[in-house]
Amino acid sequence: MGVRQAGWIRLGCIAAAAVIAATACGSSNTPSGPTLQVPPTANIKPLTSIGPGEGQLNLVLWDGYADKQWVDPFTAATGCKVNQHPAGSSDEMVSLMKNGGGGNWDMVSASGNATLRLIYSGDVIPMNTALIPDFTNFQTLFQSPAWNTISGIHYGISLQWGPNTLLYNTKKFVNPPTSWSVIYDPANKGLVTVPDDPTFIADAANYLSKTKPSLGIKDPYELTQPQFDAAVALLKSQQPLIKKYWTLPTDEISLFQNGDVTVGAAWPYQTIQLQLAGAPVADTIPTEGATGWADTWMLATKATHPNCAYLWTKWVSTPAVQAEQALSFGETPVNTKACAEMEARSPGSCKPYHADAPGSYFDNLKFWKTPIAQCPDGTTVCVPYDQWVSAWTTIKG
């Protein structure tokens, strides 16, 4: 479908299972600490070599993640026929992968708000990165991120990512905005749009972490009640400024094209499409930083086609396929060599998607994680995701 048209619905996950609630939230690095739990499948040894393909591969994925342009050549090269079940949300993915995929599913393209649930429910198993030659070409952050790597064990292989940016009308903002404060400024009443999803509370928390340091917010997904209340209060004060909470990227594109809004939270995809259409827009990562998302291919505990699964992961990790998916779907590859492939296919495409970003670019990005009750200090006073869902309803009024 060309872009994640499931929109922010993919963030609509319910609170993590109890076993996850007993684990440390961690920071943007691999989580560690005295309360870190050992995932049920931690001791399962991954394959040491890839054998002949079993003839098919059953995938649970975001629609568009297995496009014909790279699936057909894969099948021709490996003999693995790809069967896919597009999911509409992270919740659906977690549900389908219960009982280790039940022998029905081999892999899932999970987002960071689902990966820990899958890991701690025992539904996915460790993977051998040595069997993925291009793994060494990944941006460092995506080799062992907190959302798919626990205590040095990889429960999946990173795939694509994207930042959540500040999109603005360049005619309205002759001087480019440098702060998220513009989406909370009463001067922009009725001209603001943000995603319709509870996880946007993390964006508000991230902003407050820099503008109100006395709150002590270190991670926007790990909030104590007072920190959470402050973020909710900020978003309630923002509500009268909102023209529309967008669900699909096309919603936001239309709002900017029609002149209904002049500033909002977005993805690079919206910026690129609007600029291609001649709209006077640009985007930026403000000084307070931003949130972001990243997806991972994970292997089901009861996968019946593990060799095809590894062959697939190896295939989609190559620069050529990473570039194809990035350009087809509207996201950014984790393979640093994919930038040149993107340029060869579509000159000028690498920079807008930040595919050539240096490692320092990620210092100010906080990637999606499922908020859970366990705080980094071992206490259980952090606000879990089910309360984020309830709060979002009150925020929108």
Cβ–Cβ under 8 Å, residues 236 and 230:
no
Cβ-proximal residues to 353 (8 Å cutoff; 6+ apart), any chain: 162, 268, 272, 326, 331, 332, 342
Sign of CA dihedral 181, 187, 192, 195: positive
> How big is the chain by its Cα radius of gyration, in Å?
20
Cβ–Cβ under 8 Å, residues 82 and 74:
yes
Cβ–Cβ under 8 Å, residues 349 and 158:
no
- Which pTM value belongs to this model? 0.80
What is the distance between the alpha carbons of residues 24 and 380, in angstroms, rounded to a whole number? 10
CA 27 distance to own-chain centroid: 15
Cβ–Cβ under 8 Å, residues 118 and 16:
no
Cβ–Cβ under 8 Å, residues 389 and 16:
no
- What pLDDT shows up at residue 12? 39
Q: Classify 120 in phi/psi space as left (phi over 0), alpha (psi -120 to 50) or beta.
A: alpha
Strand 149-150 to 153-154 pairing: antiparallel
- What pLDDT shows up at residue 36? 58
What is the distance between the alpha carbons of residues 214 and 234, in angstroms, rounded to a whole number? 15
Phi, psi of 329 (to 5 degrees): -100, -25
The letter for the amino acid at 251 is D
Cβ–Cβ under 8 Å, residues 375 and 25:
yes
Cβ–Cβ under 8 Å, residues 164 and 290:
yes
Place of tokens 């259409």: 277
What is the distance between the alpha carbons of residues 55 and 300, in angstroms, rounded to a whole number? 17
Measure Cα distances from 309 to 39, 157, 314 in Å: 21, 11, 9
- What pLDDT shows up at residue 53? 98
Domain 7-162+293-366 belongs to what architecture? 3-Layer(aba) Sandwich (3.40)
Which residue, 115, 181, 180, 186, is CA-closest to 148? 115
| Structure letter (DSSP) for residue 77 | H
| Structure letter (DSSP) for residue 93 | H
Residue ranges covered by each domain of the chain: 7-162+293-366, 164-291+373-396
Measure Cα distances from 106 to 10, 34, 242, 301 in Å: 20, 33, 42, 8
The letter for the amino acid at 131 is L
Residues in the chain: 397
Establish whether domains 7-162+293-366 and 164-291+373-396 are of one fold: yes
Walk along the chain (397 residues) and give the pLDDT tens digit of each residue: 344 444 444 443 333 333 333 333 333 344 433 345 789 999 999 999 999 999 999 999 998 899 999 999 999 999 999 999 999 888 899 999 999 999 999 999 999 888 988 999 999 999 999 999 999 999 999 999 989 999 999 999 999 999 999 999 999 999 999 999 999 999 999 999 999 988 899 999 999 999 999 999 999 999 999 999 999 999 999 999 999 999 888 999 999 999 999 999 998 889 989 999 999 999 999 999 999 989 999 999 999 999 999 999 999 999 999 999 999 888 999 999 999 999 999 999 998 888 888 888 888 899 988 788 888 787 899 999 889 989 999 999 9
- What pLDDT shows up at residue 1? 35
The letter for the amino acid at 142 is F
> Residue 13: how many CB atoms within 10 A of its CB?
25
Fold of the 164-291+373-396 domain: D-Maltodextrin-Binding Protein; domain 2 (3.40.190)
- What pLDDT shows up at residue 272? 87
Measure Cα distances from 69 to 140, 197, 273, 350 in Å: 28, 32, 21, 20
